[in-house]
Amino acid sequence: MAIQDIISPGFSDPVFQSQAAFRALLTALSEPGTLQSVAADITPPEGLAAATATALLALADYETPVWLPETLRDGPAAAWLRFHCGVALVDDPAKAAFAVIDGAASEPKLAAFNPGNDQFPDRSTTVIVQVSGLDGGAGLTLSGPGIADTRTIAPQGLRPGFADELRQNGALYPLGVDVVLASGEGMIGLPRSTQVEEAV
């Protein structure tokens, strides 16, 4: 069986599509809580949302170690990323430049990833949290840079206590991880500078 029969294609126009995906991700993180679409006309591998696959296709390469949950590391998602991006998969979350986690899974916690250091806060992990939906769930009120007053989001499929993890992460600023919620072709950015409270 040829490799193209088991690994779905990546970008058909790598320059244009990767630039569009990068802009969408940048907008998501500079305007926290806004819904961005990263549709790039790709068929993601099993286990990755289209937004997750598109973002990694645009950003990850052999110099950006990626952490995946065991269920993805041993399946089509890992093979797809290795083939299209040449990524090195790491077992230690703290060594990852990018990570993908299941928002409903109890582990790993956000604190397991690299928060950066005083000299290089930008070398922290960007954590893509895959959720079952980006609206219709419990409300979270956001404030901070990129938000005029407050903004409310209501993602579905986040584990109990995730808002507390986001608050603890924000308390580390300027250190801390940047979080991106992903579902389908949509994403919402929650950078480390964003303050998060559970909506009442």
How high is the pLDDT of residue 43?
Answer: 87
For the segment 67-91, what is each residue's pLDDT rounded down to a tens digit? 999 999 999 999 999 999 999 999 9
Q: Residues for the chain: how many in total?
A: 200
How high is the pLDDT of residue 13?
Answer: 76
φ, ψ of residue 141 to 5 degrees: the values are: -100, 125
The structure's pTM equals 0.94
How high is the pLDDT of residue 14?
Answer: 73
Query: What is the full per-residue pLDDT of the chain (200 aa) written as tens digits?
Result: 444 446 777 767 777 888 989 999 999 999 999 999 987 678 899 999 999 999 999 999 999 999 999 999 999 999 999 999 999 999 999 999 999 999 999 999 999 999 999 999 989 999 999 999 999 999 999 999 999 999 999 999 999 999 999 999 999 999 999 999 999 999 999 999 999 999 87
Residues 22, 46, 96, 83, CA torsion sign:
negative
How high is the pLDDT of residue 32?
Answer: 98
How high is the pLDDT of residue 6?
Answer: 67
How high is the pLDDT of residue 1?
Answer: 40
- Arch. (CATH architecture) of 11-198: 3-Layer(aba) Sandwich (3.40)
